[in-house]
Amino acid sequence: MGKKANNKNCHTSGNERIAGLPKIALVGTPNVGKSVIFNRLTGKYVTVSNYPGTTVEISRGKGHIGHCEFEIMDTPGMYSLMPITEEERVARRLLLEEKPDVVLHIVDAKNIKRMLPFTLQLIEAGLPVILVLNVMDEAERLGIKIDAYKLRQKLGIPVVVTSAALNKGIKELKQEVADYVGSIAA
């Protein structure tokens, strides 16, 4: 009971959770840096490579954000909410069955145009989405500028900018998650 009481404010809804921890799911297209962000949030290490398809199974870890402890779940890449391959099915099943409290949709900022349809699907599904524009350093180098504030207004969801491999924006991402969870609990 004590553990639950400590984590009380972290609960976003009345849902009883087996592990007692609120859940964060990382989803997105292959090779956008989900595993890097997973490693940053949990302090664990899952294999990271520069090619699509490195993660084929779900990895789970724990991480502290604000004063709460979360269960964080890394998923194989998927291109849309409608799966084609087995790995994509694994990732979607997690969204359907685990009721994550926060879904971080991680995209490669360079290819935002191609990745937004998936964001729209996640919003349509009523999932608690935060959009993470990752690999921003490369986008900037290519001369791509994104108005994250405007995007936030247009989509009606939080938008965070990161360059996870360089450890940039991770603090802001954590802050955003903490605010988001707090706002739903309130």
Report the distance separating Cα 160 and Cα 176, nearest Å.
8
Give the type of residue at 28.
G
Q: How many CB atoms lie within 10 A of CB 17?
A: 16
Q: Judged by CB under 8 A, which of 20, 62, 66, 146 binds another protein?
A: 146
CB 164 within 8 A of CB 85: no
Q: Which range, of 18-26, 59-67, 121-129, 168-176, touches another protein by CB under 8 A?
A: 121-129
Q: Which range, of 5-13, 60-68, 144-152, 171-179, touches another protein by CB under 8 A?
A: 144-152
Cα 142 to Cα 44, 109, 113, 150: the distances in Å are 31, 11, 15, 21
Instruction: Assess 16 for contact with another protein (CB under 8 A).
Output: no
Instruction: Assess 95 for contact with another protein (CB under 8 A).
Output: yes
Q: At which residue do the structure tokens 């500028």 appear? A: 145
Q: How many CB atoms lie within 10 A of CB 144?
A: 13
Q: Which range, of 4-12, 19-27, 40-48, 174-182, touches another protein by CB under 8 A?
A: 40-48
Binding footprint of another protein on the chain (CB under 8 A): 30-31, 45, 47-53, 56, 80-83, 85, 89, 92, 95-97, 99, 110, 112-113, 116-117, 119-121, 123-127, 138, 141-148, 150-151, 153-157, 165
